[in-house]
Amino acid sequence: MKILPTVNIQNGRAVPIVGEGEGAELLPLVAFLLDQGCHRLALVDVDAARGHGNNRDAIAKAIAKFHAGRPKVCIQVGGGIRSSDQAQFFLDQGATWLAVGTILQRSPVMVEQLLARFREHLTAAVDARGGEILPSGWGGASGERPEAAGRRIGDFGFKRLLFLDLPVVQPVQPDFATARTLAQGSRLAIWMGGSIQSSAHLAQAREVAGIQGVAIDGLLLRGDAALTASLALPGC
């Protein structure tokens, strides 16, 4: 199963995707992932997603470093992409995929506009906690059920879906039931992240129909050799 190392970026630094913890300098983390043979990378602009500035320059530098380190790579960028100009900027920098999430709930017209221009590059990003769909990773429940969310994404015509499963309690137990529901509703093989935090979770995900890959916090990968062993699988 493919792993998509994911780096959340706040104030120019890599920060944990879930919970509190020590951050890291962005470019050295990208260099570490390259050293492990990584072909895929996801970069998330936390500040832009929350509407408090952006990290576009830092992301552009990270994209450039990743491309320079490997001849063929796949890079996904997300966080605050709400216009065609923003989407085009990241594609021009070398991004392969663009993840859109909040606007799925709040601006279906903008979603249609982005799909009209960038369908081949768009990823539908769905946040959920305890099986409840969230309008964003930092908001309350939307009231939409996973079945309906999956169908809506499929009806939009997305070709790629990322399910960010935000843990409810510790120790973390991935919500594979919601993952299956989203995959069935959207008729897409999905990527799942957030709650996938160990080699044991990775092994469990391999057994779940409808999951094609997992997104794992790049900071966690620094300390788990069993996870980094899967980074070198080529392709998007």
Instruction: Write the pLDDT tens digit of every residue in 32-62.
Output: 999 999 999 999 999 999 999 999 999 999 9
Residue 234 lies in a domain: no
Q: What's the predicted TM-score (pTM) here?
A: 0.94
Strand partners, 5: 216
Residue 10, domain extent: 2-228
Which pLDDT band, with edges at 50, 70 and 90, does 5 fall under? Answer: very high
Residue 114, φ and ψ in degrees, nearest 5: -65, -40
CB under 8 Å, gap of 24 or more: what pairs does 143-150 form?
144/105, 146/178, 146/181, 146/182, 146/185, 147/181, 147/184, 147/185, 148/185, 149/182, 149/185, 150/181, 150/182, 150/183, 150/184, 150/185, 150/186
Q: What mean pLDDT comes out for the span 217-227?
A: 88
Which pLDDT band, with edges at 50, 70 and 90, does 224 fall under? Answer: confident
Residue 48 lies in a domain: yes
Rounded Cα distance between 147 and 184, Å, is: 8
Q: What mean pLDDT comes out for the span 65-79?
A: 95
Q: Is the pLDDT of residue 168 over 90?
A: no
Domain count, the chain: 1
Residue 236 lies in a domain: no
The CATH number that applies at residue 187 is 3.20.20.70
Q: Is the pLDDT of residue 217 over 70?
A: yes
Which pLDDT band, with edges at 50, 70 and 90, does 10 fall under? Answer: very high
Which pLDDT band, with edges at 50, 70 and 90, does 79 fall under? Answer: very high
Which pLDDT band, with edges at 50, 70 and 90, does 127 fall under? Answer: very high
Question: For residue 225, what pLDDT is reported?
Answer: 83
